[in-house]
Amino acid sequence: MTSGSDEQQGTAGGGVSTGRPRILILNAALAGAEGNTARWLARARADLAAAAVLDEAVLAGPGAETFAGLEPRLRAADGFWLATGTHWDGWSSVLQRFLEEATPAECTDLWLGKPAAVLVTEHSVGGKGVLSRLQGVLVTLGCCLPPCSGVVLSRSALLARRHEPGAAEDFWGADDLGVVARNLVLAAGRRRTDWLAWPVDRQDFNRVWVE
Ligand SMILES: Cc1cc2nc3c(=O)[nH]c(=O)nc-3n(C[C@H](O)[C@H](O)[C@H](O)COP(=O)(O)O)c2cc1C
């Protein structure tokens, strides 16, 4: 899905890109476009649409995309919003596969210096661990993290907010998606493009190393 204009200004001399940033929403939820995560992403999209050019890809279900197919769209993006459910304390298997397939692109211009926001959904427990580990992976791939750009939407926390609004008001909720969206757009619109990357083995990282 693409919305808004395609206008994109070039990179300024200081290595800072300007203009309306292009954000790729990567729905990596197990239930794809039909699940819980997709419903929250629909709200996030509304928060992003006014300030960014949006693209969206789904990694599971009908029309599921792969890393190889997405590569040009990942490269064209100024920033990413990744989203997954929590599955046995981990992220979805489709996200794991995507990350494995993305390995040869580690620290390339596809990721380098691009801000990444993360939405994790869960029933009750494990989502914050998923969020923190995924943010760590994204930084190792080459992305950067804007402040307040990772959120866990938990069924249990939302129930607590509904029944004990006073006591649970600082639990993450749908209203926090707007903060994440704002910070992602801000970081993507001002992203630097002159970062350094350390050497990465792209050819032989699969080799058998046990002698
Ligand atoms: C196989 C499986 C494992 C799950 N494991 C957890 C878990 O460890 N912790 C949790 O809080 N929720 C767990 N859930 C609930 C999902 O994380 C939650 O419903 C999420 O919003 C699903 O997103 P989706 O509908 O977009 O795929 C699990 C769900 C499934 C199907």
Block means of pLDDT (10 residues each) for the chain, 211 residues, are 34 52 98 98 94 97 97 98 98 98 96 98 98 98 98 97 90 96 97 94 89 91
The token pair at 137 is 């992976």
The CA distance from 85 to 122, in Å, is: 6
Could you tell me the CATH superfamily of domain 22-189? Flavodoxin domain (3.40.50.360)
- Cβ of 37 less than 6 Å from ligand 1: yes
Q: Does 198 contact ligand 1 (Cβ within 6 A)?
A: no
Q: pLDDT value at position 53?
A: 97
pLDDT value of position 89: 98
> How do 53-58 and 116-122 pair as beta strands?
unpaired
pLDDT value at residue 146: 98
Instruction: Tell me, using a 6 A CB cutoff, whether residue 121 lines ligand 1.
Output: yes
**Looking at residue 88, what is its pLDDT?**
98
Report whether residue 27 contacts ligand 1, using a CB cutoff of 6 Å.
Answer: no
Q: Which residue has the tokens 């300007």?
A: 18
Residue 7: per-residue pLDDT: 32
What was the pLDDT predicted at 203?
A: 83
DSSP state letter for 90? B
DSSP state of 60: S
Q: What confidence score (pLDDT) does residue 78 get?
A: 98
With b meaning 16 or more CB within 10 Å and e meaning fewer, what string describes 156-187? ebeebbeeeeeebeebbbeebbeebbbbbbbb
- Sign of the Cα pseudo-torsion (151, 157, 158, 162, in order): negative
Give nearest CA residue, ligand 1 atom 18: 122
Closest C-alpha to ligand 1, atom 22: 85
